């Protein structure tokens, strides 16, 4: 077992362990903090996969913006569910069963695909992945249209979120 | 790079199913969105792993992952704004009790 595999297993345990805490822990603020741990593990996975730009974006956008937004929302709404009652639906073995079923189905499916045990070849010499991604996102014969659509979507979401969350004056 | 592709795919599948469990079992609407975030991250792990293992010179996988980031950010912004708006009117964040459109 190589050092890389050991790092992967530790990171995977971090991602899945804190993911389980996110869906089971009672206090929602703690759940949001566990989400930060899980997302950080995913950033480490991106780094292992040599997707440098995505590893940084994962930390900046997911942990820096989305997780903080969740913590804000939890603090703005918490109160009642904190003290009284349970956080989960009454028959929660049903979702657990469904999740396990889908997981086992996916694992069988993944292991039956030919070539899935391959390890990755080294990156082509001289390939700068950050530069290549930047070029691909703005070049007309690559992904400039999805990129622009995403930016319009972000703008619409921004305006929509501000409009929906603003208190109405009465 | 001594890690088989299947390790990443199985990890992503497990993370997806954990997120699915969270979405289906939680009562609080914010907790449901937390589950959705886990599922989106599982998808992203898959995209980046396929990019690295199949054709790293072609940036399709990473470009897709960037789009998923943008959509996830938009989804969280609008979703949380809706939850806060509903909370302001109905004083609840329990998904079962938000039934304004049910008749």
Interface touch B21/A102, C-beta < 8 Å: no
Half-sphere exposure of A168 (CA within 13 A, CB side): 6
Picking from B13, B35, B80, the nearest residue to A103 by CB comes out as B13
Q: Which residues of A touch B57 (CB under 8 A)?
A: 124, 127, 132
Q: What domains are there in chain B, each with its CATH number?
A: 5-97 (1.10.287.3510)
* pLDDT tier for residue B10 given thresholds of 50, 70 and 90: very high
A1-84: CATH topology is 1.20.120
Q: Using a CB cutoff of 8 Å and minimum separation of 24, what contacts does A150-154 make?
A: A150/B66, A150/B67, A150/B70, A150/B71, A151/B70, A153/B70, A153/B71, A153/B74, A154/B70, A154/B73, A154/B74
CA distance B13 to B102: 34
Q: Which residue of A has its CA nearest to B9?
A: A110
Contacts of A131 (CB under 8 A, 6+ apart): none
pLDDT digits (tens, 9 = 90+) for A144-166: 998 899 999 999 999 999 998 88
State the ipTM, two decimals.
0.89
Domain ranges of chain A: 1-84, 129-170
Average pLDDT over residues A89-93: 76
pLDDT digits (tens, 9 = 90+) for B66-101: 999 999 999 999 999 988 888 888 777 787 777 877
Interface touch B22/A74, C-beta < 8 Å: no
Interface touch A45/B63, C-beta < 8 Å: no
């Amino acid at each position: 077992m190589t050092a890389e595999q050991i790092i992967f297993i530790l990171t995977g345990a971090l991602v899945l362990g804190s993911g389980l805490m996110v869906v089971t822990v009672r206090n929602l603020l703690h759940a949001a903090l566990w989400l930060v741990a899980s997302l950080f593990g995913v950033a480490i996975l991106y780094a292992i996969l040599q997707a440098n730009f995505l590893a940084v974006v994962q930390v900046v956008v997911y942990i820096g913006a989305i997780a903080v937004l969740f913590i804000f929302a939890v603090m703005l709404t918490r109160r009642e569910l904190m003290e009284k009652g349970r956080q989960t639906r009454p028959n929660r073995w049903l979702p657990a069963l469904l999740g396990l079923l889908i997981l086992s189905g996916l694992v069988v499916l993944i292991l039956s695909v030919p070539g899935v045990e391959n390890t990755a070849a080294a990156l082509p010499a001289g390939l700068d992945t950050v530069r290549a991604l930047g070029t691909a996102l703005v070049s007309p014969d690559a992904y400039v249209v999805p990129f622009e659509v995403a930016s319009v979507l972000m703008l619409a979401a921004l305006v929509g979120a501000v409009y929906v969350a603003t208190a109405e004056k009465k | 790079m001594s890690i088989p592709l299947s390790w990443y795919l199985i990890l992503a599948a497990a993370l997806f199913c954990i997120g699915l469990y969270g979405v289906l079992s939680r009562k609080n609407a914010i907790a449901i969105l937390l589950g959705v975030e886990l599922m989106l991250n599982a998808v992203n792990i898959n995209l980046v792993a396929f990019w690295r293992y199949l054709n790293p010179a072609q940036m399709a996988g990473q470009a897709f992952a960037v789009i998923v980031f943008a959509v996830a950010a938009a989804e969280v912004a609008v979703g949380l704004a809706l939850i806060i708006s509903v909370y302001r009117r109905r004083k609840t964040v329990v998904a079962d009790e938000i039934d304004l459109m049910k008749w």
